Structure 1
Amino acid sequence: MMEDDLVSCLTRQVKEDVVENYLGERRLIDSQIEEFESLAQAVRVLAEQTGKRFTRIGFLMLEPDALAQLLEMLAIPPHGYWDECLHKPFRGGVRFIQVIAFTSRTKFRKLVVEAYRRLHQWVGKYREAYRDLELECAALNQNILQFRNRFDLLTLLNFLKSLDVRALEQKHVLGENFSAEELSSVDQKLFIPNQSIDRFELPLPPEFSGNSLNEETLGLLAVEIYNRHAHEVRKILR
């Protein structure tokens, strides 16, 4: 009897150690997934803020032809997130741009160029954040793979069931009457899949061409817009 009690006690301790080790590692992975999801939400907010800068410069184009030229300059593909932002009505929500010049034409040209500069800065921030998220995703998936290799759930459950404990404890704690289908169901429910940034549906960072070329071309486009819509431009500059 004493020997049986000792075996039962040791077996219970082994079971508790195995389960505790699994749960501890599982909590760590779950915490990393939560951090990854929080980071993805922060990147989404950054995408929205960057989109507002697209909307502002799109608003300054004042006409479809000028907006089409801007799309070509920025190499923005049609029907995507950034294209939608360029065509949205401008509702503000961005820092005011203050420019000083002697004429309205020069002032508007400076305004368009500065709007692009700020857009370029926000695109850079978003691109960096997006790449950081990709790196975090890759590191997280590596940790998940290592966790799977260390804790094969079916093997773990079968190991726990094979321990020599009293029948009542087996049935109550380990599920002695689990069928193969039930064990497989438990395995599927506890399985941690690889993570992907695709599920957040974040827009890909846009790729702009050279700064100086875009600014020079945008300046010329701004002058053309002013020449055709001087009255509307003056309203914007007030």
Structure 2
Amino acid sequence: MLQSFVEKLSPAIEKTVSGLAKERFRTDPIAGPKFSRATSIISAAYKRHGRILEEALRLRLSECQHFSVWTDPNFSISDTADRAIRGRNSDIEESLPIELPYGGSGRALQVDLFVFDRRISTLRAYEVKRGNGAYDSGKKRSILRDLLCVQSLLRSYGGSRGLIATSAEARLISYYGVRALPAPLNLFGHELDDHFVFPVQKYVDAVNERFQERLYDLLSDVLGLTELERAALCQACPLHRPLLHH
């Protein structure tokens, strides 16, 4: 079952790795051509992995018969919501209960993941991040403001889609566990199974491992590594384990 799930994401993984292989990066005069390219590929892979992580989460959650799952690249944050939230970032408990009507002029925001749980009629919105690095205070305030704006509009937004939600919540998923916001606004990968009452983490981790393996293959080609050196990079991979113990 895990294998078949990973295969569904394989085209996205292969497209990402192929794009990294074709990308032209500037050579750093200190590192030289080979190590400059390897470093640039890794840096670009971090950013592109975020999209794979989002796709893996959406796909896995869509496999639950109780969930409706979608994304919205143009979620409308009204000027009214921006003004209402702007002065309340310092007090999360007061900010969460605000509910405002969806619509009106303002700005567009991409919301990575919506999940409507038909078992309990809850609508949740999520921003998905890798969560493996710290943010400065300005970035944290920006993330919090956007999250609270989405929260304030979410129930009305659901109604515009014909969904009657008994509760509506916006959350940040920092998959690898580096906290950007206080609880309960910030979720980590190891908490998702309990949060959704549905097995999620092992499926997403399996996709991450496939991407890692294909990234290592590309880096091995760039650096000219031997088969044994390749195997040492990816010790958990069953294809490489026999080489290490030969």
TM-score, scaled relative to structure 2: 0.24
Structure exhibiting the larger radius of gyration computed from Cα positions: 1
Higher strand share: 2
Higher relative contact order, structure no. (Cα contacts within 8 Å, ≥ 6 residues apart): 1
